[in-house]
Chain A
């Protein structure tokens, strides 16, 4: 009985540790509500750590072009993310007109984008650390010389 208890406790501990690691970079929250009567409601909360993992597991060949394009901007992206990480919570941009309200803010270590217009309400929240890891992962694809080769012309 005690042994069973220990096994259950061990499994719970492993589960808790796994969940903690998975959520260590925070959570990505995407919420879309269409304002039509039959409109779609989407609400996704996922561990942010999945994003860099997804980039890591994605076929590198498919990411090579995106990686090449992002490469020249990496110093600016790094500096911006670094600055955002260190800054206090702040509404960076707010645009209002009679039909639309857009807000981009830094809140609690995340970048939060809210859009509210006649058709839908969109809320996206992504931890800065996760954006940073994902972008770095994407940029690292480029460092592999294998993927820097231009695609060979197809022989028909």
Chain B
């Protein structure tokens, strides 16, 4: 009699465990936000060298405020007046931000053509080397990131940590590409943990 009772209790316990397991499996897991990565790729085809760096942005966001060195404190970098050359960066960027999509600067000289424009919420810098210098540089910075740089910082500071957070929230984006005869450099952000 006691043996039968014990067996029934054991069977009930096993069934309870199974039911709990099935319930856990059936409950959809709360989707965690995909981790975002800052990728840097440098390829030197002439030397046969390549460097690949993949930094989880969440990790960078944690590390940056911990660095307190020279002009970088709490994720904010201080720009001294001398480096600003009397230019009111905030006013300048505010003017760019509120202006319609347009080409702001075009410089042509014997070595390069430089173009600075605003398009689709991004500031775009495009440099094309001419003749002797066959280098092409493309820089794309979303205005959201520029805003974040200035949002919480004091007048003479740039909030790098906030910019990193904004970069995490921005979609997949190619920030910098540099091409010349021997080297290619690419910096971009996406959700992949590889560069394949």
A and B interact: yes
Q: Which residues of B contact A79 (CB under 8 A)?
A: 62-63, 65-66
Contact A83 B49 (CB under 8 A): no
- Interface segment among B17-25, B51-59, B117-125, B179-187: the answer is B51-59
A66 interface contact, C-beta 8 A: no
Once A97-B48, A98-B48 are accepted as A-B contacts, the answer to whether A82 and B62 lie under 8 Å apart by CB is yes
Contact A87 B52 (CB under 8 A): no
A3 interface contact, C-beta 8 A: no
Contact A88 B56 (CB under 8 A): yes
The complex places the Cα of A94 from the Cα of B55 at a distance, in Å, of 12
A92 interface contact, C-beta 8 A: yes
Among B56, B58, B67, B68: residue with most chain A CB under 10 A = B56
The complex places the Cα of A87 from the Cα of B191 at a distance, in Å, of 12
For A, the interface residue count at a CB cutoff of 8 angstroms equals: 21
Docked complex: B12-58 residues within 8 A CB-CB of A:
35, 37, 47-56, 58
Contact B63 A88 (CB under 8 A): no
Among B48, B53, B59: residue with most chain A CB under 10 A = B59
A interface secondary structure, majority: mixed
**B53 touches which of A82, A87, A93, A96 (Cβ 8 Å):** A93
Contact B55 A92 (CB under 8 A): yes
Measured CB to CB, the nearest residue on chain A to B56 is A87
Contact A96 B54 (CB under 8 A): no
A90 interface contact, C-beta 8 A: yes
B193 interface contact, C-beta 8 A: yes
Once A76-B66, A96-B49 are accepted as A-B contacts, the answer to whether A83 and B59 lie under 8 Å apart by CB is yes
Q: Which residues of A contact B66 (CB under 8 A)?
A: 75-76, 78-80
A12 interface contact, C-beta 8 A: no
Contact A92 B53 (CB under 8 A): yes
Measured CB to CB, the nearest residue on chain B to A98 is B48
Q: When each residue 44-87 of chain A gets 1 if its CB lies under 8 Å from chain B and 0 otherwise, what string results?
A: 00000000000000000000000000000001101110111011
Contact B59 A87 (CB under 8 A): yes
Contact B51 A95 (CB under 8 A): yes
Among A78, A83, A88, A98: residue with most chain B CB under 10 A = A83
Contact B53 A83 (CB under 8 A): no
Q: Which residues of A contact B53 (CB under 8 A)?
A: 92-94
B81 interface contact, C-beta 8 A: no
B98 interface contact, C-beta 8 A: no
Interchain residue pairs A-B with the least CB separation, the first 8: A83-B59, A79-B66, A75-B66, A83-B62, A90-B193, A94-B52, A97-B49, A87-B56
Chain A residues engaging chain B, CB cutoff 8 angstroms: 75-76, 78-80, 82-84, 86-98
Chain B residues engaging chain A, CB cutoff 8 angstroms: 35, 37, 47-56, 58-63, 65-68, 193-194
23 contacts between A and B (CB under 8 A): A75-B66, A76-B67, A79-B62, A79-B65, A79-B66, A80-B63, A83-B60, A83-B62, A86-B58, A86-B59, A87-B58, A87-B59, A88-B56, A89-B193, A90-B54, A92-B53, A93-B51, A93-B53, A94-B51, A95-B51, A96-B50, A97-B47, A98-B49
